[in-house]
Amino acid sequence: MRLDDYPRPPGDTGIGVLWSPGKAVAVGMGIIREKWVPELKAMRVKWVIIPDHEGAEELSAHLLDNDIMPVVRLRRRPPNPGSLNVGQLEGLARHVQEGVRYFECNGEPDSRREWAGGEAPPDAPDIVIENWIKDAELILSAGGLPGTPALAAREPGDRWNWFRLLAERKRLDLLEAGAWIAIHNPWGNTPLDYPADAVNQRGQPLSAEEYEAAGGPAAFQNALSLNDLNTLRIRAANPGQTVIAGYAGFREFEYWDALANQALGRAVPVLSTGGGLVVGDAPDARYPRITPRGQAEGTAAAAAFMTSDAPETYFCACVGLLANSELGSAETEWEHAVWYGHYWDEQYGTRGVLPVVDALKQLPARPRMVRQAHHAASHREPNTLSLSKGVPPASGWRITASHNPQDTSRVVRGAASAAGGEPWCCGAAQRSSMWFSVDLGQPVPVRHVKVSSPPDTAPRSFILQLSKEGKHWQPVYAQDNNWLLVDATFEPVVARYVAITLTADSRHIPWCISAIEIE
């Protein structure tokens, strides 16, 4: 698969969160619909990692309906040694039916706690990769996209190289077929640019003023004095260290991107399915421990990076854990790490919600600018439906676009003569690869598409394509040097998705749509 063939959510920001370590819908779908999904949307979250597949189908479907991409873990306890069992395969099938594409089937197999008996054997990498190959084949055959097991390694030399292990078995084809790289990249209390920052590279000292502003001895591991802290910084400096040399914190995605290009000569999607900053953490004694304010500032910086500077290969950054007991989980070991919870109320006066929530809500409402042909594949896939029906009522259509998707509701779903008011517009000059897509809700025969635009805003050069499942696209009509409406009639094609994509730039003309008719 090409990078563009992997689905992304409409209006993608690249911001992801872990849902809850407990059962996905323990608090009930009612409160999830009324409170939690609106909170996710307000924080610009577009990816949600669901750690337990059991009973999560309705949540996954609701997230997709709200243009949020779920990543579902097919959970078994412990995951190693072993492969997908009957219950997990049944859960996989149900989630695929709802439209889920991204799946994990193992996690942190380099950690002893993920093995039966609490100990990993010497040949653990070989055991894990052999089982993952079988699991990946099953996930792909079911219509899903499997992630490699995310590692827990935090020390130089501890990473397992999935590309090498797959190459030894001549199974790099799985990465060509739709597999992706899952990583866990919590960055502890290091800065986003670690290991390139001045403290790690040069041992940059802290001034007395900066030391006191950070909180003095209490802000540092082992309550280091200023003199001891600066001595440590000098002794522990790593001049010239790169992301390849050892665990790279937030930038761990760069290591895996480099391995992909070395092994395949091209990129493979990297998704962070665990990470972020946790209040109280101070694993690296050279930096101050994480406070609620530090968490908010660091997370907002990571989110801003995802929308403006992240490479397109880095699909999703998991920047935190949403909730634990507030979402019905009884796994108390995680309560200190969540955004919504009362663990830090007494110490910091947080009143059940950490400031990271408001920090994300205050970010500019803008999606990532990522090159791709279509987002439509992120919509829910069809159930088994009769194909003898005509196009369903326009009231059930879902419309989205590469630009200004929030304004697509302005498009009249019917005759252009009914259009009145402001149309949808892309908000810029026409550029190749801009797109506009309609989800009809189910596969039906489509034979005619008519798209009306205000004067001088019609698509200059475009291609009209149809798809049954949002993955494989059939071109049915194309035109260059167009100045009027789009009016295409063709032999009937069974399709659920209808997409118009621009195929050339028009430097001074925007693209607008006032009405669309599909028969």
Mean pLDDT in residue range 106-116: 94
pLDDT (0 to 100) of residue 418: 43
pLDDT (0 to 100) of residue 373: 31
pTM of the full predicted structure? 0.72
The pLDDT confidence band at residue 415, using thresholds 50, 70 and 90, is low
Q: What is the DSSP string of 346-382?
A: HHH--TTB-THHHHHHTS---------S-SGGGSPPP
CB neighbours of 37 closer than 8 A, spacing ≥ 6?
Answer: 62, 63, 66, 68
Residues 137-150 have pLDDT tens digits of: 999 999 999 999 99
Mean pLDDT in residue range 295-311: 92
Contact 190, 290 (CB under 8 A): no
Residues 364-379 have pLDDT tens digits of: 877 885 533 333 333 3
Contact 243, 286 (CB under 8 A): no
pLDDT (0 to 100) of residue 156: 52
Q: Look at the chain and count its residues.
A: 519
CB neighbours of 427 closer than 8 A, spacing ≥ 6?
Answer: 403, 404, 510
Rounded CA Rg of the chain:
25
CB atoms within 10 A of CB 505: 14
Mean pLDDT of the chain: 89
Residues 424-459 as b/e (b if ≥16 CB within 10 A, e otherwise) read bbbeeebeeebbbbbbbbbbbebeebbbbbeeebbb
Q: What share of the chain is helix, strand, coil (3-state, %, to 5)?
A: 35, 25, 45
Which token pair is 450? 């008519």
The pLDDT confidence band at residue 456, using thresholds 50, 70 and 90, is confident
Residues 9-27 have pLDDT tens digits of: 999 999 999 999 999 999 9
Please, how many CA atoms are within 13 Å of residue 294, restricted to the half-sphere of its CB? 21
Report whether pLDDT(319) > 60.
yes
pLDDT (0 to 100) of residue 472: 82
Q: Which structural domains are found in the chain, ordered by start?
A: 3-196+242-361 (3.20.20), 382-518 (2.60.120.260)
Contact 99, 377 (CB under 8 A): no
Please, how many CA atoms are within 13 Å of residue 345, restricted to the half-sphere of its CB? 8
Q: Which is more confidently placed, 163 or 384?
A: 163
The residues with which 274 forms a beta bridge, in sequence order, are 184
pLDDT (0 to 100) of residue 8: 93
Report whether pLDDT(120) > 50.
yes
Report whether pLDDT(443) > 90.
no
